[in-house]
Structure 1
Amino acid sequence: ATNLNEFMTIVHNLPLVAEPEIFGLHANANITKDTQETEALLSTIIAVESGGGSSSSSGDQSNKTDETILQTATEILNKLPQNFDLEEAQIKYPVDWSESRNTVLLQELAKFNNLITLIRTSLRDVIRAVQGVVLMSEDLEHLGR
C-alpha cells in the first residue's frame, strides 16, 4: 500500500471487533465476554430499578426493607458478645515459653476482639445509613442485603 486511498481501503475492510484468536484466545472467549457484559448490564438495570421509582408500592417495599434491615441489624448487635478483657486474660494465662498455648490464646482473643469490633461498627454504620444519618456506601448496601 503506497497511497492514502489504499490505506483507507485496508482500514475500512478491517473487522470492527477483533476475533479472540488474534489475541491468542480460544474462540469461545467471545461467549465469556458476552456473558460478563450481559451480567453487568442486568445488574445495572436491577440496581436502577430497585433504586428509583416514585410509585407508592415501591416506596412501601423500600420502607419494609429498611425496617427489616434495622430490625435484623439491631438483633445481631444485641446478640454480639462483649470484647474479651485482654489484660485479665494475660493475668490468667501469662505468656510462658514452656506453654505456647497461652500465647496463641491471647493472639486469638485479640483477633476475635478485632472481628467483633468490626462487625459491631459495620452494623452501626448500616443502621445510621438506613436512618439517613450517613451516606449509604456500596459496602454498606451490600451488607444490608
Structure 2
Amino acid sequence: VFGLHSNALITAQINQAKKLLEAIVSVQPQLSAGDGGLAPEEIVSNMVSEFTSRMPDVISTANRHELSFAKEESGRTISLGVFLAQEIDRFNLLVGVVKASLAALAKAIKGLIVMSSDLEEMFNSFLIQRVPAKWTAVAYPCLKPLNSWVSDFIQRVDFMNSWAHDGPPTSFWLPAFFFPQGFMTAGMQMHARAHKIPIDSLMFETNVLTYPTPDDLPEPPETGVNIHGLFLQGAGWDLDGACLQESAAAVLFIPLPVISLRPVLCADVEDNGSKYSCPLYKTSVRAGTLSTTGHSTNFIMYLSVNRSSEAAAHWVRRGVASLCMLDD
C-alpha cells in the first residue's frame, strides 16, 4: 500500500522485539548465583579480565611513517596528517579511559576500593552487554552490544596504528573515525591547496567501484580518496551494472564495494537525473544533533549513486541509506 519492500516488515518486527527486550531487562531483578551458576561478580570479573588482556596500548607517534605526516611546500603538515593526529588524540583518550575504568572495576569487585556510582553503573552495564556510560561519553556513536563494541574498538585502533606507522592505505576505512566529516574536509582541502582552488567551490564526485574489498585495489587514486566499510540499507547493489537494485528477500543490509571520492568543481557537475542522493550515517538511528562545529553527530554526507531505471522517489520510499556500521 505504501510502496514499502517486504523487508520493511522484518525491520519493524526487529525494532519491536528490541523494545520489548529492553523493557524486560529494565524490570529484571539483579542476577544471583544459582545452582552451579556464576555469581554476577564472577561474570563481570571474567569480562574485565578478558577485556583488559585484549585492550590495545595508546597509539604512539614515534617511528611514524613519513608519508602519513608529509609536509607541504609551505612546511605545513598535509591536511590528512593533521586529521590523523587529531584522531590519534581522541583514540588515546578513549584507550586511557577504558583501561583506567577496567582496572578500577577489578579492584572494586575485589573490595580493594569503594564501588562508586560510576563503577556500579559500569558493573550493571556489563551484566546486560551494554557499553558503560563512562566510555560512551568520550567515544564515537555506536549501537553495538558490549562484546562487539570492544572488538570493533580494537579494530579501529589497529587501523589508526597501521595508517600512522605503515603509511596511508589505498583505501580508508571510513567507519574507523571519530569524525568522518573531518576526513572528508581534509581530503578536499588537500586537493584545493594542491590546485589553488577555493575549497567551497569543490564537491566530491562519488564512484562506486567494482572492487568488493580494498585488498583488490591495485593502487591508491591519483586524485581524491577511496573509502570502504560502508553498508547499504533498503536496497541491493548490482555490481555489474554499478547501480541500485531491489533488496533480496530477508536481506536487510549489504556491504558496499570500495567507493572513490574525487574532488571536482561544483560548476562542472551536471545533474542528468540518473543519480540518487544516498544519505550516509554513522549509525542506523539516522538522526543526530548539531555539534558545536555545525556538523551533525550522525549524518555525514550524501553519496550520489546510480539509481537504475527506477525514479529517485522510489528509493526514497524504500528508505535507502548507507551506514558506517551495523548494530551487532
> Over aligned residue pairs, what C-alpha RMSD do you find?
2.6
Q: How does 1:45-64 map to 2 (within 5 A)?
A: 60=33, 64=39
1:32-62 deviations in whole A, cap 9, x for unaligned?
xxxxxxxxxxx9xx9xx96xxxxxxx6x46x
Structure 2 segments unaligned to the other structure (5+ residues): 1-25, 125-328
1:98 to 1:123, Cα distance in 2 relative to 1, 3 A:
closer
- Picking from 102, 113, 117, the partner of 1:123 is 102
Alignment of 1:79 with 2:54, yes or no, is yes
Q: Does 1:143 align with 2:122?
A: yes
Residue 115 and residue 78 in structure 1: after superposition, are their counterparts in 2 closer, same or farther (change >3 A)? same
What does 1:1-145 align with in structure 2 at a 5 Å threshold? 60=33, 64-89=39-64, 93-94=68-69, 96=71, 97=76, 99-145=78-124
2: CA distance between counterparts of 1:142 and 1:74? 18
Q: TM-score, normalised by structure 1?
A: 0.53
CA deviation after TM superposition for structure 1 residue 94, in Å:
3.0
- Name the CA distance, whole Å, in 2 between partners of 1:109 and 1:98: 15
User: In the alignment, residue 118 of structure 2 is paired with which amino acid?
Assistant: D
Contact 2:69 2:77 in 1 (8 A): no
Higher strand share: 2
**What residue identity is the alignment partner of 1:105?**
L
Q: CA separation in 1, counterparts of 2:88 and 2:65? A: 10
Q: TM-score, normalised by structure 2?
A: 0.25
Task: Answer 1 or 2: which has greater helix percent.
Answer: 1
The residue identity in structure 2 corresponding to 1:112 is F
CA 1:137–1:143: 2 relative to 1, 3 Å: same
Q: Is the 8 A contact 1:95 1:103 kept in 2?
A: no
Following superposition, the deviation at residue 136 of structure 1 comes to 0.2
Shift of 1:135: 0.3
Matches of 1:143 and 1:98, distance apart in 2: 40
C-alpha distance after superposition, 1:77-128 (max 9, x if no partner):
1111221112333756336336210011011112101101110100110010
CA 1:134–1:100 in 2, change beyond 3 Å: closer, same or farther? same
- Using the aligned pairs only, state the percent identity: 23
| Runs of 5+ unmatched residues, structure 1 | 1-42, 51-57
| 1:138–1:80 Cα change, 3 Å | same
